[in-house]
Amino acid sequence: MANLQAVGDADFNEVVLVSDTPVVVDFWAEWCGPCRLVAPELEKIKAEYEGKVKVVQLNIDDSPGVASKYGIMSIPTIALFVDGDIKSQVVGARPKDDIVMGLGLNG
């Protein structure tokens, strides 16, 4: 998959919820075709927003606890966590600019 940091049930709190910087979480699964399409777009976001936003991936099959807690029903779901809460999210494979706009990263 992409070159993004993987998180799971065990380290989600440490990596995402208590992060000093906003975190974009890609909820995905290995069998999800649209998830594969969105991965390169997230790589672009990671590069463009380096130092301002962390971008990580959570495999819902490997970490169903977190996905269930946040009510993730469709994948890919890309969520922006700020201060431990979901501030915005985008569902479905979208190009980078749509993801950035949907998450409110552009201002």
> Has 37 been annotated as catalytic?
no
Catalytic one among 2, 24, 32, 42?
A: 32
Please indicate whether residue 35 is annotated as part of the active site: yes
**Do residues 26 and 4 make contact, with C-beta atoms less than 8 angstroms apart?**
yes
In whole angstroms, what is the distance from residue 19 CA to residue 71 CA? 21
- Please identify which of the residues 35, 45, 60, 72 carries the catalytic annotation: 35
DSSP H helices, the chain, are 12, 33-48, 64-69, 96-103
Catalytic residue list: 32, 35
